[in-house]
Structure 1
Amino acid sequence: MTKKKSGEPQLESKPRSCWDVYSAKKHRTAMDKLARRYMEFLSACKTERETVDWAIERAEAEGFTPDFHSHACFRVMRGKSIFLARQGKRPLSEGFRLVGAHGDTPRLDLKQHPLFEEVSFGLGKTHYYGGIRKHQWLARPLALHGTAVTNSGEVKRIVIGEDPGDPVFTVADLLPHLAQKQGEKKLSEAFEAEKMSVVLGHEPSNPGKDEEEKSRVKRRMLELIHEKYGLVEDDLYSAEMQMVPAGPAREVGLDRGLVGSYGQDDRACCFLAMEALFAAKQPEHTQMVLIWDKEEIGSDGSTGAKSMFFEYCLDDLLEAWEPETSPSRALLAAKALSTDVHPAVDPDYQEFHEKLNSAYMGFGPTFCKFTGSRGKYAANDAHPEYVGWLRGLLDGAGVPWQMAGLGKVDLGGGGTVAKFLAVYGMDIIDCGPPVLSMHSPFELTSKADIYATKLAFEEFLKS
Structure 2
Amino acid sequence: MASTPFNAELITFLDASPTPWHAVRSIQERLTAAGFTPLVENESWSLQPGAGYFICRNGSSIIAWRQPQGSEPEKSGWRLVGAHTDSPCLKVKPQPELVRKGYFQLGVEVYGGVLLNPWFDRDLSLAGRVSWRDEAGELHSSLIDFERPVATVPSLAIHLDREANSSRAINAQTYLPALLSQTDEKPDFRQLLAERLKADGETGVARVLDYELCFYDTQGAAEVGLEGDFIASARLDNLLSCFIGLKALIDAKPGVGQVLVCNDHEEVGSLSASGAQGPMLKQWLERVMPDAEKRNRALSVSMLISADNAHGVHPNFSDKHDENHGPLLNKGPVIKMNANQRYASNSETSAVFRDLAEKQGVPVQSFVVRSDMACGSTIGPITAAELGVPTLDIGVPQFAMHSIRELCGSRDAEALSRVLTPFYERAKI
Fold-level match, TM-score > 0.5? yes
| Equivalent in 51, 54, 76 of residue 56 of structure 2 | 76
Residues 369, 92 of structure 1: alpha-carbon distance in 2 compared, 3 angstrom cutoff: farther
**Alpha-carbon spacing, 1:427–1:221, altered in 2? closer, same or farther (3 Å):** closer
State the one-letter code of the partner of 2:317.
Y
More helix by share: 1
Aligned residue number for residue 31 of structure 2: 59
SS at match of 2:109: strand
The corresponding residue for 1:296 is 267
Q: Which residue of 2 aligns with 1:153?
A: 139
Q: Percent identity?
A: 26
The amino acid of 1:432's aligned partner reads: G
The one of 405, 409, 424 equivalent to 1:461 is 424
Code of the aligned partner of 1:139: D
**Cα 1:392/1:104, change in 2 over 3 Å:** same
Q: Distance in 1 between matches of 2:109 and 2:188?
A: 23
For the 8 Å contact 1:113–1:236, the answer to whether it is kept is no
Partner of 2:359: 396
Equivalent of residue 92 in structure 1, options 69, 73, 83:
73
Greater shift in the superposed pair: 193-202 or 125-134: 193-202
Q: Equivalents in 2 of 1:305, 1:40: separation in Å? A: 26
Structure 1 residue 326 corresponds to structure 2 residue 294: yes
The secondary structure found in structure 2 opposite 1:287 is: strand
Partner residue, 2:378? 416
The 1:156–1:328 alpha-carbon spacing in structure 2 relative to 1, beyond 3 Å, is same
Where in structure 1 are there 5+ consecutive unaligned residues?
A: 1-28, 205-215, 371-375
- Distance in 2 of aligned mates of 1:377 and 1:431: 16
Check conservation: 1:122, 1:221, Cα contact below 8 A.
no
Unmatched 5+ residue regions in structure 2? 40-44
Tell me if structure 1 keeps the 8 A contact 2:312–2:399. yes
- CA distance in 2 between partners of 1:97 and 1:74 (Å): 15
After TM superposition, give the deviation of residue 97 of structure 1 in Å. Answer: 0.3
Structure 2 Cα separation of the partners of residues 403 and 378 of structure 1: 15
- Map residues 226-241 of structure 1 onto 2, 5 A cutoff: 226-229=194-197, 238-241=210-213
| Partner of residue 413, structure 2 | 450
| 2:247 equivalent among 258, 270, 275 | 275
2:411 partner SS: helix
Match of 1:260 among 213, 232, 254: 232
2:228 partner SS: coil
- 1:305-344 maps to which residues of 2 (within 5 A)? 305-319=276-290, 323=291, 325-344=293-312
* Superposition deviation, residue 154 in structure 1: 2.4
2:344–2:380 Cα contact (<8 Å) kept:
no
Q: 2:120 aligns with which of 123, 138, 153?
A: 138
* 1:59 to partner: Cα distance: 1.2
Question: Aligned equivalents of 1:134 and 1:416: distance in 2?
Answer: 21
**1:418 is paired with a residue of what secondary structure?**
helix
1:142, CA displacement in angstroms? 0.9
> SS of the residue aligned with 1:88?
coil
CA distance in structure 1 between the aligned counterparts of 2:234 and 2:362, rounded to whole angstroms: 27
CA displacement 1:302-342 (0-9 Å, x = unmatched)? 110001100111111114xxx48532222222111000000
Give how far 1:195 is off: 2.3
Aligned length: 405
Counterpart residue number, 2:154: 172
1:229 is displaced (CA, Å) by 3.0
Shift of 1:377: 4.3
**Of 118-127 and 190-199, the range deviating more from structure 2:** 190-199
Please tell me the residue identity of whatever aligns with 1:388. A
TM-score of the two chains, using structure 1 as the length reference? 0.82
Could you say what secondary structure the match of 2:315 adopts? Answer: coil
SS in 2 for 1:413: coil
Q: How far did 1:221 drift?
A: 5.9
Distance in structure 2 (CA, Å) of the matches to 1:453 and 1:277? 12
For the Cα contact (< 8 Å) 2:21–2:143, is it kept in 1?
no
What TM-score does the superposition give when structure 2 sets the normalisation length? 0.88
Alignment map for 1:93-132 (pairs within 5 Å): 93-94=74-75, 95-132=77-114
In the TM superposition, residue 170 of structure 1 has moved relative to its aligned partner by: 0.7
Instruction: Give the alignment's Cα RMSD to 1 decimal.
Output: 2.3
Q: Distance in 1 between matches of 2:242 and 2:397?
A: 15
Following the alignment from structure 1 to structure 2, what is the Cα–Cα distance between the partners of residues 395 and 223? Answer: 57
Match of 2:42 in 1: none
Q: Does 1:364 align with 2:329?
A: no
Counterpart amino acid of residue 108 in structure 1: L
Q: 1:193 to 1:426 in 2, by over 3 A?
A: same
